[in-house]
Structure 1
Amino acid sequence: MSEQLSIQPLQKDDLDFLYQMRINSDVMDYWFEEPYASKAQMIKSYEANLEQDSHRSFILYHGKEKIGYLGLFDLDWRHRHAEFAIMIDPAFQGNGYATRATELMIDYGFNQLNLHKLFLYVAQTNEKAAYIYEKVGFEREGFLKQHFFINGQYCDVIMMGLLQENIVSNKN
């Protein structure tokens, strides 16, 4: 199952797939964003980001089927860190893809980009995601009280981080 997972850089023809997730409130609530985007805005953003070196966006594939989107955002080349984020298409959630997909991005961030640290924010109520992140090595670093507005209420957020050196030491 997860052995067939791969990531490919986001292409313009992937935007229709991404758009369907970006307008889904069940998905976007956990990205802490409003589920609002027009295709025209997405195209404009995609084209503007082609000139930027501050993020890496990927489509997650299971075989030849698109099942998710992942990225490293706000890449800081001086301090060598980036924010990790993932979204799995709701039709494919619950199949164990998120763990392997996260591992693929960890490998990319540390072994291709030579980052020192990956970090993320996860809603405290999103226990499944927090479990996956901890399973692959992320550690809880902090807590933000009532930081994001989800489903009509303010939610607490866990800040998590993973250092490159911890991945190297885990492989030994």
Structure 2
Amino acid sequence: MVRNSDIIEEINDGNLFLRKISKTDDEFFFKSLNEKNLTNYLSLGPLKSLEHSRGLIKNYLKYWDKFFQFNYIIELHDVNKVKIGSISLWNVNWQHKRTQIGIWLIPSFWSKGLGEKSVNLIKKIAFNHLKMNRLEVYIAKENKKSITLFEKCGFNKEGILNQYLLFKGKFHNAVILVFLKRDYLKS
């Protein structure tokens, strides 16, 4: 298992930063996860209250301490620091050295290459620091933007799981996309 000192709490690529989520991100989470366009294919949101947001972040921090999930805030550092989304490594399986990625960006930051940069940074954390072998994402088949994002980042389609995801009372087929350490080492 990884030691606490191996967990990267902040990493950047130029002006794009990933940093460990903190209690002070509660208002950002609450506001962002109540945006309809953002939560169509997310298992969380809309959030019921600011207290709901605080509880969510409190759980994320507990999961971090238990080495089960690592949640980051995505920030742009230009003139000011601007929070633009979140990315996580979750459902970490240390025995089989695999984990899943989850990401969301505020819609005004979509299609600007920031999702790709964020995914590439989280790959560095997963492979170089956590010593993972396999990264997985499960995306609703209709969520073409997310599928395209991960394909641009080198993920390969591995299959379809029928009626695997449930959003707003409706089942969706999930596309499984995977990125392996051997492919990371080649790049």
TM-score tier by shorter-chain length is 0.7 to 0.9
Per mean C-alpha deviation after superposition, the further-off stretch among 24-33 and 133-142 is 24-33
1:50 corresponds to: 61
Relative to the length of structure 2, the TM-score reads 0.81
Aligned residue runs from structure 1 range 1-172, under 5 A = 3-51=14-62, 52-63=66-77, 64-150=81-167, 153-169=170-186, 171=187
Tell me, which stretches of 5 or more residues in structure 1 are unaligned? none
Which residue identity is paired with 1:85?
G
The Cα offsets for residues 130-172 of structure 1, whole Å up to 9 and x where unpaired, read as 1221121111112022333447753221011111111102x2x
Relative to the length of structure 1, the TM-score reads 0.87
Give the distance between the partners of 1:12 and 1:20, measured in 2 at CA. Answer: 15
Q: Is the 8 A contact 1:59 1:68 kept in 2?
A: yes
Per mean C-alpha deviation after superposition, the further-off stretch among 41-50 and 125-134 is 41-50
What is the total number of aligned residue pairs between the two structures?
A: 169
Which residue identity is paired with 1:94?
S
Tell me, which stretches of 5 or more residues in structure 2 are unaligned? 1-12
The ranges of structure 1 where at least 4 consecutive aligned residues each deviate by more than 6 angstroms after the TM superposition are none
CA RMSD of aligned residues (A): 2.0
The Cα offsets for residues 67-100 of structure 1, whole Å up to 9 and x where unpaired, read as 1100011111111111101000122222221111
